[in-house]
């Protein structure tokens, strides 16, 4: 590309101005960076631990209620909720594992890195029924149905209450599912854009 001499001078002047701007001279010794890297890992561990405390409260509550429940179906429902909570926690751990930049970030070009991040986020949102909502459904449904069966004396009101409860839960789950699907579609558009650029 033949540029006029004046334009080349302008370009060079802009680059020189950029490269010669004053900086603070922030540096880090190897001892300091090792210390900070360890602190960073501890911070991530603590953040994960906080997330697991919330799950532990759910598990402990249902475990405690399970021990006291007389009906075998109610106990099975609670056991399924506990199992579902464990599964969701494990999935959160696996899917949240790349919140820090991976150690091999230098092997990925800008496009490859961005694409991998977007694909990971898209899959997390697109599969929300499979890893987040779905695993909790069997336990929730079985438990409330079992509670209804265990109270035959108040059958009309209890089944009305159970119907409303399940309806609200279903509406909330579907709303979460739809929002996540929409988010996944937006991410897919960004992935398509990157693929277009890479061609």
Partner 1 sequence: MPDVSPRPGSSREAQFEDALALYGAALERLARAYEADADMRRDLLQEIFIALWRSLTAFDGRCSLRTWVYRVAHNTAASHVAAQIRRSKRTFVGLDELAELPDHDSGEAAAGERDAIGRLYALIGQLKPLDRQVMLAYLEGMDAAATAEITGLSPGNVAVKIHRIKHLLAQHLNPKAQPATAPAKEGAR
Catalog residues that contact partner 1 under the rule CB under 8 A: 1, 6-7, 10-11, 14-15, 17-19, 21, 23-28, 30, 33-34, 36-37, 40, 100-101, 103-114, 117, 193-194, 196-199
CB of 178 to partner 1, least distance (A): 19
CB of 32 to partner 1, least distance (A): 9
Residue closer to partner 1 (CB basis): 32 or 164: 32
Between the CA of residue 81 and those of 28, 138, 142, 169, 190, what are the distances in Å? 48, 8, 9, 14, 36
Residue closer to partner 1 (CB basis): 10 or 155: 10
CB of 132 to partner 1, least distance (A): 18
Residue closer to partner 1 (CB basis): 155 or 198: 198
Q: In whole angstroms, what is the distance from residue 98 CA to residue 93 CA?
A: 9
Whether 36 contacts 28, CB under 8 Å: yes
Task: Look up residue 135 and give its two tokens.
Answer: 């695993």
CB of 98 to partner 1, least distance (A): 9
Q: In whole angstroms, what is the distance from residue 192 CA to residue 169 CA?
A: 34
CB of 122 to partner 1, least distance (A): 13
| Rounded (to 5) percent helix, strand, coil in the chain | 85, 0, 15
Residue closer to partner 1 (CB basis): 70 or 110: 110
Q: Count of CB atoms within 10 A of residue 169's CB?
A: 16
Residue closer to partner 1 (CB basis): 76 or 188: 188
């Amino acid at each position: 590309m033949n540029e006029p001499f004046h334009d080349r001078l302008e370009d060079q002047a802009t680059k020189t101005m950029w490269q010669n701007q004053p900086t603070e001279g922030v540096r880090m010794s190897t001892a300091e960076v090792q210390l900070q890297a360890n602190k960073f890992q501890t911070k991530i561990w603590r953040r994960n631990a906080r997330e697991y405390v919330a799950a532990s409260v759910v598990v402990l509550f249902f475990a405690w209620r399970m021990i006291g429940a007389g009906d075998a179906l109610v106990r099975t429902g609670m056991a399924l909720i506990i199992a579902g909570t464990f599964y969701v926690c494990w999935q959160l751990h696996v899917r949240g594992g790349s919140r820090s930049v991976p150690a091999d970030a230098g092997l990925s070009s800008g496009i490859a890195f961005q694409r991998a991040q977007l694909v990971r986020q898209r899959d997390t949102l697109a599969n929300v029924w499979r890893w987040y909502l779905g695993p909790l459904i069997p336990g929730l449904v079985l438990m409330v149905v079992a509670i209804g069966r265990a109270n035959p004396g108040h059958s009309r009101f209890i089944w009305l209450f159970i119907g409303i409860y399940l309806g609200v839960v279903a509406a909330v789950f579907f709303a979460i599912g739809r929002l996540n699907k929409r988010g996944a579609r937006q991410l897919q558009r960004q992935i398509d854009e990157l693929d277009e650029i890479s061609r």
